[in-house]
Amino acid sequence: MLQQIADGYGQQRRSPVMHTPAELGLDYENVTFPSRDGVPLEGWFIPAAGSNRLIIANHPLGFSRSGLPTQFEPWHSQWAPSGNGFEINFIPDYKILHDAGYNVLAYDLRNHGFSGAANGGIASGGIFEARDVVGSLQYARSRAETRDMAIGLFSRCLGCSSTFSAMAQFPEAFNDVRCLVAPQPVSTQIIMQRRLALAGVAAERIKDLEQRIILRTGLGFAARNPREWAKHVCIPTFLYQVHDDILTQPSDVQTMFDNIPIAEKQLLWIYGTTARWDGYVEFQRRPQPMLEWFAQYMS
């Protein structure tokens, strides 16, 4: 089991792009652009007529820009035991943003969806994926329709960690980014500890797992640390998280929030569930707090 987990970090399983914006009546354009280090990234540009505001969407680990088909194998067996066996479809998110007056750029991170392979296919927890976040900003600033738009970020899970990491590595890229909405960032060590506990594996085996991950990727838990990267956050940031998420601990996100060094920040807890996936559909169920955050800083 430990080796299977480590192998998953060494060769990230791709989620297919199962849906398109057309399913909800949205016009869109297939786009491709390079990451900061040249990796080809694939995405959608969803225009909102008359709008000068753009939201760039970054997805969670193992997902694609369209979500994750967790109702199907092999994803169902992996996630159903923790209560996360239902599909995540992100197209309704883009519909909500579009109808609120935002253009949307949604894309696949490296080694995900249709985007290019890089770094041997490993999942780095945001270290290398940070270059994709910067690449999306560079693309938005170079595209004729979007270069003068106000930019906000909607960065989920790995997308959030990658955004934090990008702020630590490339702070100049965020000089004119207005704000960030960031659902459910998580530290690799924390989620791995919880997964082992749910599987009945002794807690001390986490050291064995980390060694196996290092042997597959060259990166241990200390290197994959969004709590430290949060100290470099430089734009107004709205975090939200399932408080009793069985795959993490409240203290993880609380520490990230506390480490953000600016006053313009907010943390919203979601109660009444232990399913992490409920945090990913929170925006579809109750979008108002997030839309208010975007409106406040992108007007």
- Mind listing the pLDDT tens digit for each residue in 201-213? 999 999 999 999 9
Using an 8 Å Cβ cutoff, are 246 and 279 in contact?
no
64: nearest Cα among 33, 102, 109: 109
The CA distance from 125 to 223, in Å, is: 9
Task: Give me the domain span that covers residue 42.
Answer: 2-298
Domain CATH number, residue 107: 3.40.50.1820
Query: How many structural domains are present in the chain?
Result: 1
The CA distance from 2 to 158, in Å, is: 21
Reported pTM: 0.97
The CA distance from 87 to 194, in Å, is: 22
Average pLDDT estimate for 21-42:
98
The β-bridge partners of 210 are none
Average pLDDT estimate for 61-73:
98
The pLDDT of residue 183: 98
DSSP 8-class letter at 46: E
The torsion region of residue 294 among left (phi > 0), alpha (psi -120 to 50) and beta comes to alpha
The pLDDT of residue 163: 98
